[in-house]
């Protein structure tokens, strides 16, 4: 009885602690304080060079895991109770201004391989040459190449300044964020959602430091999706084609619209074919460079071996099957790509069956969760969906894991500035690769939560 009473008291204490209205602040402050003190006193319990090693390193790591778990659970309980906060319209200019400043500070801090590629691409365009014939470091439709050329021309007024070029890119990407979040706010009327999108580490680092332009393609595709819902099909199809021509991350979205009974079969066929045709037409000025386009754009794949779906399929499908001639007839059938493509319509079929019409969010989650090629820049793609479904625990685990790998482990981003190796929580390159699969697994579990909840709601309504 005494033991049961003690366990009940502990359970009651933990439950009250997690559900306290400031628990997440206490948890975050504890993480900062603990790691700050560990850094301050590392010379006392480190080796001769003040580096923490051995059992102490693992102890510090374990304590950080406990503190971070506390923080994640606190956020989860907080998000389950708070759906929105009040913010006056007059403050939004300041809020967005602060968001831009944070991204510009990240740009000033430094850059990675992509900025060098952007400079090469801009120079080729400004010289009047074909970007596909002259570099393998551009793997997208032509629109972004001309945007980069314009931004570099702007940064060259007087004398060229690389940092200024980077800042101009960040401002351009931030404008896409503003237009996207404005459209999302019109749909959701949720201030908290916009704050989370503006001030999470993933958005700040990917836009400010990595400066990848997925956000532009997503923004244009979201407006296309809104026009589809309003049955403005021609405008939606045009915008979707432009989105592909910026960056073709939304190219499989029409596969998920095939089961939308609110759209006529004729319009569904047009949505499936015409945007892809617009994408193809955008390459016509470069028809002499078809082989380079095929290699560097249509068949380009990066970091294939550490993805979650690849590991999973390796376990369940004998390798000789994917090496059969059938899988080599068309590029889309090589390896596991055919199976990957089937996932999109299958998910959409059950989403519509269970009355979940948020196909845009499900697509963003699915395209990263199941991708056969991934890098840390992909972490931004599903973020709007992650925060829309922030009442699910795996949303917060995703944000935490993705933020951790981007900030402290990713060699392509800010690990060179924010290293925590001295306290044992910055892992090596092997863990960095495993991290991609872990982040994807979080998204798979989040998708499972969303669809299972849709199934339950559908069962109740029936």
pLDDT at residue 13, as a whole number: 65
Give mean pLDDT, residues 297-314.
70
- Condensed to tens digits (0 to 9), the pLDDT of residues 108-143 reads 988 888 899 999 999 999 999 999 989 888 989 999
- Condensed to tens digits (0 to 9), the pLDDT of residues 202-221 reads 999 999 999 999 999 999 99
- Condensed to tens digits (0 to 9), the pLDDT of residues 11-50 reads 676 666 666 667 777 887 887 788 778 777 766 666 555 5
* Per-domain residue ranges of the chain: 2-81, 301-462
Residue % of the chain over a pLDDT of 90: 51
pLDDT at residue 121, as a whole number: 95
pLDDT at residue 54, as a whole number: 62
Give mean pLDDT, residues 303-315.
70
| Cβ atoms of 46 and 53 closer than 8 Å | yes
Average pLDDT of the chain is: 84
Please give the Cα distance from 118 to 165 (Å, whole number).
Answer: 10
- Candidate from 216-220, 250-254, 349-353, 403-407 with smallest mean pLDDT: 403-407
Give the global pTM: 0.86
Please give the Cα distance from 435 to 404 (Å, whole number).
Answer: 10
């Amino acid at each position: 009885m005494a033991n049961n009473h003690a366990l009940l008291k502990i359970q009651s204490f933990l439950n009250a602690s997690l559900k306290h209205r400031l628990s997440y602040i206490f948890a975050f402050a504890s993480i900062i304080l603990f790691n700050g003190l560990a850094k301050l006193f590392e010379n006392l319990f480190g080796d001769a060079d003040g580096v923490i090693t051995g059992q102490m390193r693992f102890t510090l790591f374990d304590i950080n895991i406990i503190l971070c778990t506390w923080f994640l659970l606190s956020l989860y309980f907080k998000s389950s109770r708070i759906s929105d906060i009040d913010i006056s319209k007059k403050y939004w200019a300041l809020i967005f201004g602060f968001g831009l400043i944070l991204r510009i500070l990240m740009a000033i801090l430094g850059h990675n391989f992509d900025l060098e590629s952007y400079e090469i691409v801009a120079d080729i365009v400004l010289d009047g040459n074909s970007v596909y014939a002259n570099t393998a470091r551009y793997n997208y439709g032509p629109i972004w190449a001309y945007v980069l050329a314009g931004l570099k021309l702007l940064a060259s007024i007087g004398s060229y300044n690389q940092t200024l070029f980077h800042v101009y890119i960040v401002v351009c990407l931030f404008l896409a964020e503003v237009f996207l979040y404005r459209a999302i706010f019109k749909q959701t009327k949720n201030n908290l959602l916009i704050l989370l999108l503006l001030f999470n580490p993933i958005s700040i680092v990917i836009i400010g430091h990595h400066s990848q332009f997925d956000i532009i393609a997503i923004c244009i595709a979201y407006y296309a999706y809104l026009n589809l819902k309003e049955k403005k099909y021609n405008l939606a199809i045009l915008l979707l084609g432009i989105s592909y021509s910026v960056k073709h991350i939304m190219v499989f979205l029409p596969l998920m619209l095939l089961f939308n009974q609110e759209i006529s079969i004729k319009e569904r066929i047009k949505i499936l074919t015409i945007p892809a045709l617009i994408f193809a037409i955008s390459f016509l000025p470069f028809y002499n460079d078809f082989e380079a386009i095929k290699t560097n754009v249509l068949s380009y794949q990066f970091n294939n071996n550490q993805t979650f779906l690849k590991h999973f399929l390796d376990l369940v499908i004998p390798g000789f099957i994917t090496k059969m001639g059938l899988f080599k007839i068309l590029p889309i059938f090589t390896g596991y790509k055919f199976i990957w493509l089937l996932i999109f319509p299958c998910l959409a079929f059950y989403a519509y069956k269970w009355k979940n019409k948020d196909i845009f969010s499900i697509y963003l989650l699915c395209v990263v969760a199941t991708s056969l090629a991934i890098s840390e820049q992909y972490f931004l793609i599903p973020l709007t969906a992650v925060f829309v479904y922030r009442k699910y625990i795996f949303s917060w685990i995703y944000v935490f894991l993705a933020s951790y790998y981007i900030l402290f482990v990713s060699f392509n981003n800010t690990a060179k500035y924010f290293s925590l190796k001295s306290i044992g929580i910055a892992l090596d390159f092997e863990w960095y690769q495993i991290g991609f699969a872990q982040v994807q697994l979080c998204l798979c579990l989040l998708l499972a939560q969303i669809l299972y909840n849709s199934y339950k709601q559908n069962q109740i309504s029936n």
